[in-house]
Structure 1
Amino acid sequence: MALSFEKINLNRTISSEIVLIIKDNLLNGSLKPGDKLPTEKELMEQLGVSRTPVRESIKILEAIGVIQIKRGEGMFITNNLSQFSLNPLIFSLIMHSNNIEKLIEFRQHFEVLLMNMIIAEENDIKNIEDVYHSQVKRMNPDLSPEELANIDLEFHYAVLEATNNPFIIEIGKTIYEIIKPNMVHFKHSSNIERTLKTHHYYLELLRGNVDFNPTLLVQQMIKNNEEMIE
């Protein structure tokens, strides 16, 4: 019997509702590890939505390890599905992703936590340094907004990994994947210098060349993120 979904409740953001539908089908057993999902077109028709929210929800589900995309074959529920992939906290973040202002506020304070953890524990930052130097070479005006956002996020993922905390890493990755569509919307060539300047500031904090001041750090992040809120 072919898998079919009902049209969604538009009281939530469309992409969030699609993610919730997949989660509910996993929890009630309608979907199981290894199951093949309908195609993008089939999901659009069954759910009564456009292509954009379907693709956004697929990116989120792929990022948190719920689905796997196999080229030429389609989308599948991963065989390595872990309970953490269905953690209520993770899905709570996704369900509230329509409140972009509060999400960005949470991200700002979350990144202060990251910096403090790495500095306090004197963790290795070599990978962060390598990613930053790579970004300096690769970020250029010829890249698309999505490519610029992806390169930007490489730095933040490296910071997450430097905490050596699996809970921080998983929650952080989810935050960045949810916020990524807004990053793509405001990314253009004029942002390159500001992005690199911010990452350099973070790096100097981690190197101990700048005093760690949580208030100033949040203010810096507010300035960087204000375009995404507008």
Structure 2
Amino acid sequence: MAVTDAAIDRIKEMILSGALAPGDRLPKEAELAERLGLSRNSLREAVRALALINVLDVRQGDGTYVTSLEPRLLLDAMSFVVDFHRDDTVLQFMQVRQILEPAATALAAIHMADEEIEELREILASLPEAPSVEELVANDLRFHRHIAAGSGNPVLCSLVESLSGPTTRARVWRGLTQEGAIAKTREQHAAICDAIAARQPEVARAWATVHVAGVEEWLRRAL
């Protein structure tokens, strides 16, 4: 195991054991290096790596702290990674989205508050009558993020959001090349919203599956 990897594991062990809790400040570099039996250089590299994935927060002139470790923060790093997808892997991201998004939609039909459902309707109503592709994509992202947030599961919400990067391009391509994409998107979004408002999780799941599958089917043909 590389020295830096060993240093990362030691800090991780401190967090998992409760020796360091979310929001705690790490001991001073010299003290922590001695306690963990590490060189200051390897400790520094480990801190940099853990800061990149939002486990640690390095505050200049103040010290290094454990973050809140909320799923949203930790999964931000995954969003960064998936943005570098290749065209031949975008279908794999779509397949994962097809598993997760219907599940989030079904949960939203159970957990979403009435006022949140009204906000979902407002998102739908805010789409212009003749939207540009950019407006359509932005509205689509807002719609799906709002549903994911309404699922009541922060981990699932973060995972769904992290998949938005690689699928955004597919949405743009679809809007540019597929006739009837705007009308079809409006219709499917309205059906999803109605199912959530009616508290029908399985109907909501089915419509979300149809919606995502339509994008995937088009993408398969395009690629």
- TM-score if structure 1 supplies the norm length? 0.54
Match of 1:171 among 156, 159, 162: 159
Rg bigger for which structure? 2
Q: How does 1:24-63 map to 2 (within 5 A)?
A: none
Q: In the aligned structure 1, how far is the partner of 2:139 from the partner of 2:173? A: 15
TM-superposed deviation, 1:81? 7.0
CA contact (8 A) 2:174 2:218 kept: yes
> 1:197 — aligned with what?
187
Residues 1:102 and 2:76 are matched in the alignment = no
TM-superposed deviation, 1:199? 0.8
Residues 1:131 and 2:131 are matched in the alignment = no
- Find the residue that maps to 1:138 and give its secondary structure: coil
Q: Give 1:150's aligned amino acid.
A: A
TM-superposed deviation, 1:190? 3.9
- Find the residue that maps to 2:112 and give its secondary structure: coil
CA RMSD in angstroms, aligned pairs only: 4.0
User: Residues 168 and 27 from structure 1, CA distance in 2 versus in 1: closer, same or farther, beyond 3 angstroms?
Assistant: farther
User: Residues 110 and 204 from structure 1, CA distance in 2 versus in 1: closer, same or farther, beyond 3 angstroms?
Assistant: same
User: Residues 114 and 125 from structure 1, CA distance in 2 versus in 1: closer, same or farther, beyond 3 angstroms?
Assistant: farther
Residues 1:114 and 2:99 are matched in the alignment = no
TM-superposed deviation, 1:142? 5.0
Q: Which runs of 5+ in 2 are unaligned?
A: 1-43, 56-64
- TM-score if structure 2 supplies the norm length? 0.55
TM-superposed deviation, 1:162? 0.6
User: Residues 217 and 141 from structure 1, CA distance in 2 versus in 1: closer, same or farther, beyond 3 angstroms?
Assistant: closer
Q: In the aligned structure 2, how far is the partner of 1:173 from the partner of 1:112? A: 13
Question: How many residues get paired?
Answer: 162
Q: Deviations over 1:187-208 (max 9, x none)?
A: 2484221111111111122122
Q: Give 2:145's aligned amino acid.
A: Y
Q: Deviations over 1:154-213 (max 9, x none)?
A: 110110111232212211111112311222222248422111111111112212276725
> 2:150 — aligned with what?
162
Structure with the higher fraction of residues in helix conformation: 2
